Amino acid sequence: MWRRALAPLLSLLLLAPAAQAQDATQELLNQISHDVESLSVNTPIWIAQHVPASMPTSAIGAAPDHTDGPGIAIGVILPRLGLFNQFNEVGKGTPFLGFEDELPGNMLWPQFGVTASLRLGLGLEASVNIEGIPNMALGGDTATVEVGNFNAAGHLRWRLTPAVGPLPGLVVGVGACYSTGTMKFGISGQAGYTIPLQVDNGQGGFVETDVSGTYSFLGGPEMAWEMTQIAPELRLVWSAGPVKPFVGLAVGITEGTVQGGANVTTRIEVDDIEVEGVTLDEGQTYNNTRTNLFSTAPARFTVRPHVGVDFDLGALSIAAQLDVAFLNSDKLSTEVDTSGLSDFDPDQEGGMFGDAQQDSQASAALVGSLAMRVVF
């Protein structure tokens, strides 16, 4: 793939061998930097369009009954598991390094945590969740991805009516969550290259030769985010003895910032340039280090219909829930600052940046959770 991507480098001017080799290697440096910068722009956009779906703004399980007196419950979340699609689109606009082929189409997003709730009587409940992702790594031939995340959420809900026979009880609530995290890419590669070169033979003609050598690169794109989400919720709860199924709908409003940046170090070695066994130019080494930065806002609105069931076994409660999250990101402003990107082309076709500037973006995610609580 990388050898095919060198084709744009082959249309070189008829220069002295050293100058022509330097032009070729500079173009190689620019292409590597462009692709890594594209990754540093695409990834924050992807995070903004998916990660708000995993923020735990819904309380665990069915709400307490009106007949339940004051009490507490503590437990663990094992886990809250998100399934986010389109992760390979992070690699869009990287024709030289081909990240779109390196990255998986779907990403699992497992969050583990603890939960505690306080029953206040008359169907009122206040609760908190603390959740996070331990360092999770995904690997490829060229890129590895490491993710870490922390969420702190609080909830308040009230059962307005009890469940009577086939009629469900009505529960209203509101949740708020703060989320922070990082996503780091480890990117490296090494390969050989060969570029055709025409050298003046001094007799009014040219001799064909090659510029050849090896290149290597090491990049560390790193994304970070801080988000807050507030989500009112409506839930219907049935009761069949210890089994309490429920359905609900939550609407989240999210604010915050997602940032991306990278340091890219590239090393290109050029072998001796020879024509018919005669060395015209000695080998050289070119090194380059560049830094870039980009930021965007998370998807503003998240709509989460969900279904679940709570098994009330007396002192032990087991709750499972499945959310289908629909997210909408505002159209990216045409005035977004890209001055920190030295080689990124904001006008390139087929990239996530250009798509986000043309229109608002919709995405979807599945989020399932399983929790066990001890009730006192």
User: Each residue of 119-148: pLDDT tens digit?
Assistant: 998 899 999 999 998 777 755 555 678 899
| Residue 128: φ, ψ to 5° | -135, 150
**Taking residues 266-286, what's their average pLDDT?**
57
Determine the pLDDT at residue 208: 72
Of 217 and 315, the one with more pLDDT: 315
- pLDDT on residue 333: 58
Yes or no: say if 92 and 284 are a contact pair by the CB < 8 Å rule: no
* 371 within 8 A of 60, measured Cβ to Cβ: yes
Within 10 angstroms of residue 279's Cβ, the number of other Cβ atoms is 11
Per-residue model confidence (pLDDT) at position 238: 96
Residue 270 or 129, more confident: 129
**Model-level pTM?**
0.82
Rounded to an integer, what distance in angstroms lies between the CA atom of residue 107 and that of residue 87?
A: 6
Bridge partners of 209, per DSSP, are 197
The proportion of the chain whose per-residue pLDDT surpasses 70, expressed as a percent, equals 73
Give the pLDDT mean for 39-64.
91
* pLDDT in the model for residue 344: 67
The one-letter code for the residue type at 294 is F
User: Which residue did the predictor score with more confidence, 285 or 89?
Assistant: 89
pLDDT band at 8 (very low <50, low <70, confident <90, very high): very low
Q: Do residues 248 and 186 touch, judged by C-beta distance below 8 A?
A: no
The answer, yes or no, to whether residue 13 has pLDDT greater than 50, is no
Residue 294: the pLDDT is: 80
Give the C-alpha separation, 70 to 350, whole Å.
Answer: 57
Q: Which region among 1-5, 48-52, 152-156 has the lowest average model confidence (pLDDT)? A: 1-5
Residue 226 above 50 pLDDT?
Answer: yes
Contact 160, 167 (CB under 8 A): no
Residue 5 has pLDDT above 50, yes or no: no
| Average of per-residue pLDDT values in the chain | 81
pLDDT for position 291:
61
pLDDT at 326: 96
Closest CA to 169 of 313, 321, 57, 64: 64
In one-letter notation, the amino acid at residue 276 is E
Comparing CA positions, the residue from 295, 234, 370, 270 lying closest to residue 17 is 270
Q: Left, alpha or beta for 241 (phi > 0: left; psi -120 to 50: alpha)? A: left
Q: What is the pLDDT of residue 114?
A: 97
Q: In this structure, are residues 289 and 70 in contact, taking their beta carbons and an 8 Å threshold?
A: no
Average pLDDT of the segment spanning 92-109: 82
User: Of 323, 350, 326, 334, which is closest to residue 80 (Cα–Cα)?
Assistant: 323
Calpha distance 341→92 (Å, rounded):
16
pLDDT at 357: 72
Q: What is the reported pLDDT for 247?
A: 97
Q: How confident is the model at residue 338 (pLDDT cuts 50, 70, 90)?
A: low
pLDDT of residue 6: 44
Q: What is the mean pLDDT of residues 158-180?
A: 95
> Which pair of structure tokens corresponds to residue 325?
């999250």
Q: Using 50, 70 and 90 to split pLDDT, how confident is the model at 244?
A: very high
CB atoms within 10 A of CB 365: 25
Cβ burial of 43 (10 Å; 0-12, 13-18, 19+) is buried
pLDDT tens across 277-323, in order? 555 455 556 556 656 678 889 999 999 999 999 999 989 999 999 99
What per-residue string of b and e applies to 300-331 under the rule 16 or more CB within 10 Å gives b?
A: bbbebebebbbebeeeebbbebebebebebbe
**Dihedrals φ, ψ of 187, to 5°?**
-120, 130
